[in-house]
Structure 1
Amino acid sequence: MRIVATCLLVVMAVAFVLLRKFGGTAPGWGYAIAFTEAAMVGGLADWFAVTALFRRPLGLPIPHTAIIPTNKDRIADSMARFLRENFLTPQVVARRMTAFNLANAAGEFLTAPRGGASGRIHTGAGNLLADVLESLDTERLGLQVRAGLAHQLEKVEVAPLMGQMLGAAIADGRHLPLIESAVRWAGHTLEANEDLVREMIRERASGLLRWTGLDGRIANSVLDGLYKLMAEMIVQRDHPLKVKLEAMLGELAQNLQHDPETRAKVENAKREMLANPALGAWWQALWDRLRLRLISAARDPEAALGNHFSGMLGEVGQALRSDPRLQRQINRFARRTLVGVTARYGGEIVRLVSETVKRWDAVTVTTRIERAVGRDLQFIRINGTLVGGLFGLVIHTLERFL
C-alpha cells in the first residue's frame, strides 16, 4: 500500500509537469492542471503527516516529528491506563460475567463426544498424570509420603480410638464372631499339633505312668477336655470362659481410653512399629506397585481409570448443563473470583503491559505499530491525494465563475 500511495503521488506530479509544459489554452487543461496540482499538494501533506508519526521525514530534525518513538514511554502509560479504566475494572468484569453462563459452557464442553476437545482433555490429563509419576524420584517420594503419614500418625493417639472401637464392637455384639473364630483357630491348631501335645505330656509324666501306659490315656483325656471346652465355648452364649473373655475385652476397652499406663504402652508400640525398617520396606514396595499400576492405567485410554475419569467428567458436565441452581452457584463463584482477581491484580497486569512496552526499543515499537495500522495510514495518503485533487477542481471552478 505504501508503494501504491507513492506511485499515485508520483503520477500526479508527472502529470502536473507534463500538463504545465505541453498544455494548451482550452478550459479543460486548466481543470486538469488544478486537479493534479492540488492532488500533489494533498498527497505530499499526508505523506508528511503519516511519516511524521513514525520517523523524521527525509531525516530532517523537524519539530514534532517521529512522534511514536519519541513518546514511547508516554504511549505505554496511556495504553496501560486505557486498559485499566475500560477493561480491567471490577464493574466491567462483573457486567460481562453476568451476561455469560460459564457453567453451562463448561458443561457443554465436558459432555461433547470424545475425540474432540473433550477427548483431548481426557487423553492429556492421563498422559500428564503418567508423566508426573514417571518424572518423580520414586524412592524419595515414597520416603516423603511415608514420613508424612508417620508424622500424622505420631500426632494421633491411637489408644483411645482403639478403645472406642472395641467398646462399640462389644456393645453391638460384633466381638462374638471374633471370639468364636479365635476358638476355632485354636481348635485347628491343637488338632494339627496333637502329637506335640502327647509328647509333652509323656515327657512330664513319671516313669511309672509311662511303664503302665497311663500317660497316653492322660494325653487323650487332656485333648478331649480341650476339644469339649472349645466346642462348648462356641455353642454356649453364656459360657463362663467366654463371659470372662468378654469381661477382659471390656476392661481392655476401658483401659485403652482411660488408663494412662495402657495408653503409654500402646503409644510406645506404635512408635516402635513406625520406626521398624521392615515397615519402611513394605511401604516402598507397595508404593512402587501402586505407581506402576497408575502409570499403566493413565497411559491406556480404555483402562478402568480412563473410563472412570471420562465418565466422571461426563457426569459433571451433565450436571452443569441441567442444574440451574448449580449453574447459578458456579457462575456466582466465578464472577466473584474474577472480580476479586481484577480488583487485586488489575494494577499488576496493567503495569506488566506498560513495562513491557517501555522495555522495547524505539525501532521495535515503531515497527510493530506500523505493521498493525500502516495499511490504513497508506489509505489516508491515497485519499488525501484524491480528495486534494477534488478540492483543487472546486477551487478552480469557483475562481473561474466568481
Structure 2
Amino acid sequence: MAGLFILARTMGAETGQPAWGYLRAFAEAAMVGGLADWFAVTALFRHPLGLPIPHTAIIPENKDRIADSLAGFLQSNFLTPQVVARRMAGLDVATAAGGFLTAPRGAQSRVTAGATSLIADILESLDRDKLGGMAKQALRHQLDRIDLAPLLGQMLTAMIADGRHLPLIEALLSRTAQTLEANEDLLRTMIHDRANGLIRLVKLDERLANAVLDGLYKLLAEAVVHPDHPLRLKIVDGLEQLAHDLTHDPVMAARVERMKAEILSNPAFTTWLDALWERARSGLLAAVRGGGSGGAASAQFAIALADLGTALQTDPRLRLLVNRFSRRTLVGIASRYGGQIVRLVSETIRRWDARTVTARIEGAVGRDLQFIRINGTLVGGLVGLGLHALDMAL
C-alpha cells in the first residue's frame, strides 16, 4: 500500500487525472488501517518494535489473570453439578460400554490384556516376602476373628437337616469294619492275653475271640444296611447333641476357641500358610502370564467382559443402574473436585513463561492473525476512498 501510495501520488502530479487521487486516497487510508491493525494484533502478544508502550504485550503481561479467568470460565460453564447432570442425562454410558466390550475386533481383549498384565506386574514388582506377609497376616487375622463354634454348629445342623450326614456315617461304619478286619490278629492276641488261665486251659479264649469279633462284624454290617439301626441312631443323636453344644454351650465354644488358637500358633500352620500363599501367587502369575495371549485367566476374563457387555446392552435394569451410577459419580466428581481440576489448569498456565503462552496462543489462532491485518488494510482503504469521494462531491 505504501508503494501504491507513492505511485498514485507521482502519477497524479504528472497527469492531473482525478482517478489517481482516488487511488491515492485508498492507498493512504489502507496503509494507515494496515499499520493500525498490525499494531493492535502485535500489541496482544508483544511490544511493537520492542518498545515498552503502555497497554501492549497484553497476553504475556496478564497471563496470570487470563489463567484465573479461564479456570473460572471452565468451572462456571463446564464443571458445575447442574451442567454435568444435564449433559449426562442424554448419554447412555451403559450401552456405549457394552458396545465397546462386545466389539467384534476384540476391544475387550485389549482391556483383559492390560488388566492381567497389570496384575502380573504388581505381583512381580512388589516384595514377595512383604506382600506374602501382608496376605498371610490378613488371613490369620480373619481366621482369628471367626467365631468358629457357632459356625461349625450351624454347618452340622444344616448337614443333618439335609441328610448329608448319612454318607458320612456309612463311610465311618465301613471304615471301622475295615480297621477291625485289618487288626483282627491284634484283637485276638489282646483277648488271649487278658483271658485267665482256666479259660486258656480249656481253650475257650479262641472261642471267646471268635464270638467277640463275629458280634462286632455283625453289628457293623447291620448298622450299614439298616437306616434305623440303634447304632446309627445313636451316632445321629451324638451329632445333633454336638451341633447343639457348638451353637449354644459356652464351655464347648471356649474349648473350640482354645483348639483354634493352638492351631493358629502352631509353627506347622505358619508353614502351611507360607506354602498356600506361594502356590496361590505362582498359580496366579502362571495364569496371567502363560498361554499365548494371556493364559486361561485372561481368556476367562475376556469371556466375562463380553458377557457383561451383552448384559449392559440387553438388560434394561442393569443399564439403568449403570447410567445412574455413572451420572451420580461424575456429578459428585464435579461437585467435590471441580475446583481442583480448574485450579490445575490455572496453575499450569501460571507456570508457563510469557514466551510459551504467547507462542501457544498465537500458534492456535494461526493464519487468522494475518487475515485480520489484511482485512484492516482493505477496510481502511475503502473508508479512505469513500471519504475522498465525499470530499470531491462537496
Q: RMSD across aligned C-alpha pairs, in angstroms?
A: 2.4
Under a length normalisation based on structure 1, what TM-score does the superposition of the two structures give? Answer: 0.88
Aligned partner of 1:16: which letter? F
What secondary structure sits across from 1:395 in the alignment? helix
Question: Does residue 272 of structure 2 align to residue 318 of structure 1?
Answer: no
CA contact (8 A) 2:11 2:20 kept: no
Q: C-alpha distance in 2, partners of 1:104/1:166?
A: 47
Aligned partner of 1:353: which letter? V
CA contact (8 A) 1:107 1:318 kept: yes
Deviation at 1:265, TM superposition (A): 0.8
Listed as ranges, the gaps of 5+ residues in structure 1 are: 1-11
Q: C-alpha distance in 1, partners of 2:367/2:136?
A: 65
Q: C-alpha distance in 2, partners of 1:168/1:321?
A: 40
User: Equivalent residues in 2 for 1:46-61 (5 A)?
Assistant: 46-61=37-52
| Residue of structure 1 equivalent to 2:245 | 255
For each residue in 1:339-371, what CA deviation from the matched residue of structure 2 results, as whole angstroms up to 9, or x when unmatched? Answer: 222122222222222222223222222222222
Q: C-alpha distance in 2, partners of 1:258/1:333?
A: 44
CA contact (8 A) 1:233 1:241 kept: yes
After superposition, the Cα gap between the structure-2 partners of 1:221 and 1:91, relative to the gap in structure 1 and judged at 3 Å, is same
| Residue of structure 2 equivalent to 1:7 | none
| Residue of structure 2 equivalent to 1:163 | 153
| Residue of structure 2 equivalent to 1:67 | 58
What secondary structure sits across from 2:367 in the alignment? helix
**1:239 corresponds to which of 186, 205, 229:** 229
Moved more, 29-38 or 105-114: 29-38
Listed as ranges, the gaps of 5+ residues in structure 2 are: none
CA contact (8 A) 1:113 1:119 kept: no
CA contact (8 A) 2:102 2:309 kept: yes
Question: Does residue 6 of structure 2 align to residue 17 of structure 1?
Answer: yes
Equivalent pairs counted in the alignment come to 390
**1:283 corresponds to which of 246, 252, 273:** 273
| Residue of structure 2 equivalent to 1:391 | 383
Question: Does residue 170 of structure 2 align to residue 180 of structure 1?
Answer: yes
**1:89 corresponds to which of 76, 80, 83:** 80
User: Equivalent residues in 2 for 1:116-265 (5 A)?
Assistant: 117-205=107-195, 214-265=204-255
**2:334 corresponds to which of 339, 342, 352:** 342
After superposition, the Cα gap between the structure-2 partners of 1:77 and 1:21, relative to the gap in structure 1 and judged at 3 Å, is same
Deviation at 1:46, TM superposition (A): 0.8
After superposition, the Cα gap between the structure-2 partners of 1:97 and 1:396, relative to the gap in structure 1 and judged at 3 Å, is same
| Residue of structure 2 equivalent to 1:9 | none
For each residue in 1:43-77, what CA deviation from the matched residue of structure 2 results, as whole angstroms up to 9, or x when unmatched? Answer: 11111111111111122222211111222222112
Under a length normalisation based on structure 2, what TM-score does the superposition of the two structures give? Answer: 0.90
Deviation at 1:205, TM superposition (A): 4.5
Q: C-alpha distance in 1, partners of 2:160/2:255?
A: 22
For each residue in 1:72-100, what CA deviation from the matched residue of structure 2 results, as whole angstroms up to 9, or x when unmatched? Answer: 22211211121122111222212211122
Counting aligned pairs with the same residue, the percent is 62
Aligned partner of 2:63: which letter? K
Deviation at 1:110, TM superposition (A): 1.2
CA contact (8 A) 2:108 2:306 kept: no
Q: C-alpha distance in 1, partners of 2:316/2:258?
A: 55
For each residue in 1:231-253, what CA deviation from the matched residue of structure 2 results, as whole angstroms up to 9, or x when unmatched? Answer: 12222334333333333223222
